[in-house]
Amino acid sequence: MPASRIRSTTSLLAALALLGSLLVVYEVDAVDRSKFRTCEQGSFCRRYRKFIQLPQLSEGLWSVVPTSREEAGAAAWTFLLKHRNEAEPHLKLTLNAYASGIVRFRVNEVSPVHPRHVIPAGDVVVDPAPGAAAARITSDEKTTIITFESDAGSKVKVELLHSPISMSVAVDGRVVQRLNARNYLNFERYRKAKAVLPPDSQSDAAAQPEEVLLDAAAFKDVDTKGLWEEEFGGHTDKKPRGPASLGMDVTFEGDVPSLFGLPEHMTKASLPFYDEPYRFFNLDVFEYENNEPMALYGAVPMIWAIHRGEGQQAAVTSAFLWINPSETFVKLERGDKAWGSSWFGKGSSGPAHAWWTSESGVLDAAVFVGPAPAAVSAQFHSLTGHAPMPGLWALGKHQCRWNYMSQKDTLSVDSNYDKYDIPYDVIWLDIEHTDGKAYFTWHPTHFPNPQEMVDTISSKRRKFVNVVDPHIKKDEKFHVYKEIRDQGLFIKKVDWKMIDDPTDVKPADWETVEFIDDPNAGPQPPEWDEAQDGKWEAPKIPNPAYKGEWKARQVVDPSSPRSDFEGWCWPGTSGYPDFTNPKMREYWGSQFALDKYKGTNADLYVWNDMNEPSVFNGPEVTCPRDAIHPHGDVEHRDVHNMYGYYVHRATFEGLEKRVPGDRPFVLTRSFFIGSHKYSAIWTGDNYAKWEHLSTSIAMVGALTLAGQSLVGADVGGFFKHPDSEMVIRWYQLAVLAYPFLRNHAHLETPRREPWMYDEDTLVAVKASLQLRYKLLPLWYTVFEEYHRLGKPVVRPLFWDFLSDPETHADEQAVENQIMLGDVLLVHGIGKPMSQQKSTTVYLPAAPGWYDIYTGSFATPGKHGVKVTMENIPAFFRAGSIVPTKNRIRRSSSCMAMDPHTLNIYLDPASGEATGRLYLDDTKTKKYQEGEKFDVHFQFKGDTLKATSAGGKMPTEVSPEVERVEIFGLGFEPKKATLKTPRGTVELPQPMTRPQLAGLGAKLGGSPLRFAATLKIKPWIDLTDGLEWSVTIN
């Protein structure tokens, strides 16, 4: 929920009185832009934009010292980089070639004045690092060339140009990316206090250091404001370590029609080329707007590029990842071909450019060479790690609201789901369940017996989620606050003191005599009588060389006293733990133990909100950049975008220890690269607006391309109240396109549980949720592919149909459609019926498509579709076998022992189809020990069978099939037989029906085909492996 959304609500009067004037009350439906700075308002981005416009950059500033190359491990090398205006090389470049098809490019300082923050191994990049490539390196005076073959068999060539430094990466003979091709490299080394230039023998001797072009922080023609201190929104950011930003350009070569990614922003899927750079600075943004590069809650600075082929060349993909947790800006550019906000329909696009700049840290970037989308996803996960399998229940319906106000209210919501026979899996509680917003507690009167309530939910085979935010209520009676404080684990603030700079020495020619004898005065007058007049003193005049009293330059005292940083959040005055510290994460995780977190059981999981972190009275509603994380003595600016990551990682690890072998569930709002290993993500506090519904497709797709697949948007919107039409449309999309399916609502909105609407709406929402539960076997099987191979669970169409240019050129295909696995295409409806009577659906090049509701067949291509309220366009890919469960019960756990249905959608040309079903116990980690079962199906020559089956079948789920549905048959089957190791059985006569062609041309050249339903008695036991088959004739 947002930092600012407190109004005169009864339950929040105490909080409102406490926060007083610190909180601004908004009645407008728009973000308050004055709270959040732009590139121009931040000194490091502003000066970088000016720096890259300097004409001197045309020749480059940094060069590789070829003779400095050293081996740094398998397929790893280091080089020194020298600036043309310095005497010695002060930067070190490290290159890695990883076997999966990754080229990693890192730059850090050599012997810095202050250590630069480097993300610890294992936090983002896996430890040990990905497997090294079998690479060959050669070099001459001008270039170094690295070649290797990726695990997938692609030939990769890296060409490092020495002077000025640039690097190209080619795959299978095609250059896909160039780094620093435009000489935008900037690296601001740490300086001594208030020094113009960082240490170097040539720079130290410069008579006019401000005339030396060294970096963006050191040249008079750029911008030297804000180097050591800057203000924004009434807050002063002290910078005792001085400027430390860095930046570089990347060019995506070839004909690049679209760039994708850069979550989290509310933009189109095909990234617009805004004038303002995309910002990455995790924030609690109140009422965020559509079509904006403003920062939101999370950061994965990753771009996917599509490179179209020339002539007969196939299209390929590549991606670029910028690994830096400080504030970052990314600017997309097209050179002379700037299309503004939309490229669609503009013809050949040419290369795309991006520049990247971060406030501090080191330059760490990875090029994923692809060339197929599946290879890019696999490369990302080989670098950052694979996600664990979620519990099946996590893919069901989650019911949430700010807030269910009492134990009675909570149980009433649960009972109404049963009353109306609507499936759901999880009920959630927001902040009002606590005792005064002290997390890990319960409100003593509203939730008098939480253990009984939680156990009641468990008895129905459902789950519970509580919010636990990272701001800790300052209260001497609150044990969590006292224990964190006493262990010194809070973030610190600095009471800044100024001292004389110990390195500042008075110049030898500094004149301190204020008055001197007047040289024009005569000698002592003869009439001067010392006895009467005193001793004679010559007249004085002001000394023209006098410079005043010398005082040393004032600098920030590095020993300035520190105390616990305190900010305002929901509880009032709060402390903010240093989650970068493993000791703090260990302590945090221990608080979820069942003997410590009273009123919980093993079915209660956790939601980490407000973890950007949100600080109501802080600069940009977050933690000051100059706050100190005691672990490593790191400024908050260095780690800001990883703060939320460390919070939800600590929660995940605590839940792992709470019940060994259980699969933890954590939801986070703030995230970073690698969050997929620990948490689900939602897109934050969205609106009940049609544009928020439609843009959620792009937002979810961007997240899944960035490796985060357990994601979704609040169904129905968090702010405002969706009318019946909007809520129906949102559910119709969400059950097919959101891996994480939760509805959530602001405290001041009307209640919106399904039964709160009219009967028609209730029926429609219920039908959508029943469809979700019917498809859970498909969702779970696709999630296993994500867990094992890194394939996004839902993804833009180009991921599966790269060879079809419309999937990266047609606006409907790119912006309004998304795939679930490689089998289900869904098209969202983002306007009310009053504005949209029909829509255009693009079906990619494939054997064909089947309407998931009617089974009617459609051919590839663009089709006009009439819009109705019954459903939204959705299609299964021809040639697929889709596992489902048709017995819908109160929760996914209640369906565990129910048999499956196999839905066969035939390729009309071959009459064949294939598919897969993955099974495990859905809740523990036994799958990691081999307790799982995997079946591959094939329908060919009128026979359904398993082509492979293996593993150990868990006893907690059913391996059985009770029904087979076949679509697209060329004949009307009259008979079906089942063959098993126990004999051959003639099945009940197939129930058949004519299947007319749907969108497009006739089905397989014939106006009529058939669909058939086979009831399987006895049920197929999939543990029979390859020893069963079903034949129709």
* Residue numbers annotated as active site: 609, 685
Of residues 820, 835, 868, 873, the one with CA closest to residue 998:
873
**DSSP code of residue 852:** T
* Phi-psi domain of 736 (left: phi exceeds 0; alpha: psi -120 through 50; beta: other): alpha
* Coil vs helix vs strand at 472: strand
Contact 554, 499 (CB under 8 A): yes
Distance CA 324, CA 299 (A): 10
Would you list the DSSP string of 597-648? STT--TTEEEEE-STTT--TTSGGGS--TT-EETTTTEEHHHHGGGHHHHHH
- The tokens describing 659, both together, are 């019940």
Distance CA 667, CA 653 (A): 13
Which CB contacts under 8 angstroms, 24+ apart, belong to 132-135? 132/73, 132/74, 132/75, 132/76, 132/96, 132/97, 132/98, 132/99, 133/75, 133/97, 133/98, 133/99, 134/75, 134/99, 135/75, 135/97
Would you list the DSSP string of 358-376? ESSS-EEEEEE--SSHHHH
Q: Are strands 976-980 and 1029-1032 parallel, antiparallel or unpaired?
A: antiparallel
Let me know the angle formed at the C-alpha of 177 by 82 and 314, rounded to the nearest 5 degrees: 160
Contact 601, 456 (CB under 8 A): no
* Coil vs helix vs strand at 252: strand
- Please give the distance of CA 951 from its chain centroid, rounded to a whole number: 33
**DSSP code of residue 295:** -
* Coil vs helix vs strand at 586: helix
Which residues, other chains included, contact 608 with Cβ-Cβ below 8 Å and sequence gap of 6+?
A: 467, 468, 469, 470, 644, 647, 648, 651, 666, 667, 668, 669, 670, 679
Beta bridge partners of 880: 905, 914
CA-based torsion, 207, 209, 210, 211: positive or negative: positive
Cβ-count burial 166-181 (b if 16+ within 10 Å, e if not): bbbbbbbebbbbbbbb
What's the one-letter identity of residue 863?
H
For tokens 């909570």, what's the residue? 410
Rounded to 5 degrees, what are φ and ψ at 159?
A: -115, 115
CA distances from 1019 to 775, 962, 964, 983, 987 (A): 20, 5, 11, 13, 10
- The tokens describing 414, both together, are 């649960």
Contact 643, 608 (CB under 8 A): no
CA-based torsion, 778, 784, 787, 788: positive or negative: negative
Of residues 817, 800, 831, the one with CA closest to residue 698:
817
* Phi-psi domain of 734 (left: phi exceeds 0; alpha: psi -120 through 50; beta: other): alpha
CA-based torsion, 873, 878, 880, 886: positive or negative: positive
Angle between helices 759-774 and 724-737 (to 10 degrees): 0
Distance CA 364, CA 273 (A): 24
Angle between helices 776-789 and 759-774 (to 10 degrees): 50
- Burial label for 612, CB within 10 Å (0-12, 13-18, 19+), is buried
